[in-house]
Amino acid sequence: MTIVVFTFVLTMTIVFGSYWALVMRPEAQTAGRLRHRLRVNSARPQGAPSVIKGGSVEERKDGLLRRLHRRFAVAPTARLVERAGMDIDATRLVSGTAGALTFVVVVLRAVQPNWFLALCAGAMTPLVPYFYLRHAARARLNTFEEIFPDAIDLMARALRAGHAVTTTLAMIADEMPDPVKSEFRVVYEQHNYGLPFQRVMKDLATRVPLIDVRFFVTAVLMQRDTGGNLAEVLDNLATVTRDRFRTRRQLDVLTAQGRMTGWILGGFPLVLGLVLYLLKPDHMNAFVKDPLGLRLLELAIALQVIGVVVIRKLVKVEY
C-alpha cells in the first residue's frame, strides 16, 4: 500500500511539474518581459525611440513561442491539430502526453519488476493521441477533397456573373459545408484584415496539403499576375479534381485487401507476444534475459519492420 501511494504521489508530481515547466513558467516569463517592455516604452516622452525593436510586441512574443515550440517539438503537433480541425492547445497536449507516458511507466514498474515491458508500454502511450489526430486529419482532408470541386465550380460561376475573386471566396465561405467553409473563411478574413492576397493563398496551400489545392492556388495567383480567363481554368481544374478523387477511391478499393493484410501481419506478432507474456512469462523473459534471445528479438523486430515497409510500398500507388 505504501508503494502504491508513493508511486501515485511521485507520478502526480512529475505530471504537474512537467506542465508547470513546459507551459505555465514560459508563459509567465514571456508575459513578465512584455509587461516590463511596455512600461519602459510608455514612460518615454513622445517622439523618443522605442525600445521595442525588430517588430511589434506580438511578433516578439511569437518569436519566443516559436523557440519554445521548436525545443519541445510542439510545432509539428500544432500543424497536425490544425489539419485535424480541432481546438486543442498543442503545448498542453504535448505536456499531457509526456505526463501520461511517465505515469504509465511508473505504475507498470511498481506493479511488476520488468523494466522492458514498462518502457515499451510507456513508449506506446504517445502513439494513441498521435494516431487519433492523424486519423482525424486524414478524414478531414478526404472530406475537403470530396467537396473542393463543388467549391471551384461555385467560384467559376460567380466569376462569370461578374463578381471579384475576393467576393467569390466569401461566397464559398458562406455556402459550402465544412471543412471547405472554414478554410476559405480564414482566407477571406485574413485578406479582409489586410494581409496580402498572395500570402493568404499560400497559407491555404500550407494548411491543406493537397495537390489539387496547390493547383488552385497557382491558377488564381497566375491569373492575378498575367490575366486570362480564370473561370475556364477553374472549370477544367474542377473536372480534373473530380477525376482524381474518383481514381483514388477506386485505388482504395483495389488495395484494401493488401492494406488489411499489412495491418494483420504487422499487429499479430505484438498481440501474440503480449498474450504469451501474460500466459507464460518465463517463455518471453528468455528473449530479454538471454543474450541469444535478445539477438533473436532484434532480428524479429528488424524483419517485421522490413515486411511492413515492403507491404506499404506495394499497396501505395502514386496517381
State yes or no: pLDDT of 59 exceeds 50: no
CA distance 44 to 51: 9
With a pLDDT cut of 90, the percent of the chain lying above it is 0
> Quick check: 250 pLDDT over 70?
yes
Please check the confidence at residue 43 and state whether its pLDDT lies above 60.
no
pLDDT at residue 53, as a whole number: 39
User: What cell numbers appear for 140 in the block?
Assistant: 478531414
Per-residue pLDDT for 60 more than 60? no
Let me know: does 201 contact 183? Beta carbons within 8 Å: no
> Is the pLDDT reported for residue 271 higher than 80?
yes
Under 8 Å between Cβ of 119 and 106:
no
pLDDT per residue as tens digits for the range 188-209:
888 888 888 888 888 888 888 8
Tens-place pLDDT, residues 226-248 = 777 888 888 888 888 888 888 88
Query: Which three cell numbers, joined as nine digits, stand for 267?
Result: 499487429
- Range name among 61-70, 103-112, 188-197, 205-214 with the lowest pLDDT average: 61-70
What pLDDT does residue 307 have?
84
Range name among 22-31, 86-95, 209-218, 250-259 with the lowest pLDDT average: 22-31
Task: Check residue 49 and report its DSSP letter.
Answer: P
Mean pLDDT taken over the chain: 74
The answer to whether the beta carbons of residues 177 and 152 sit under 8 Å apart is: no
Q: What is the DSSP letter of 45?
A: P
Residue 101, sorted as left (phi over 0), alpha (psi -120 to 50) or beta, turns out to be alpha
pLDDT category at 61 given cuts 50, 70, 90 is very low
Enter the pTM of the model: 0.61
Identify whether the C-beta of residue 197 lies closer than 8 Å to the C-beta of residue 224. yes
Using the predicted structure, report yes or no on whether residue 215 has a pLDDT greater than 50: yes
28-42, 64-78, 174-188, 209-223: the lowest-pLDDT one:
28-42
| DSSP annotation of 50 | P
The Cα–Cα gap between 294 and 291 comes to: 5
Residue 80 has pLDDT above 70, yes or no: yes
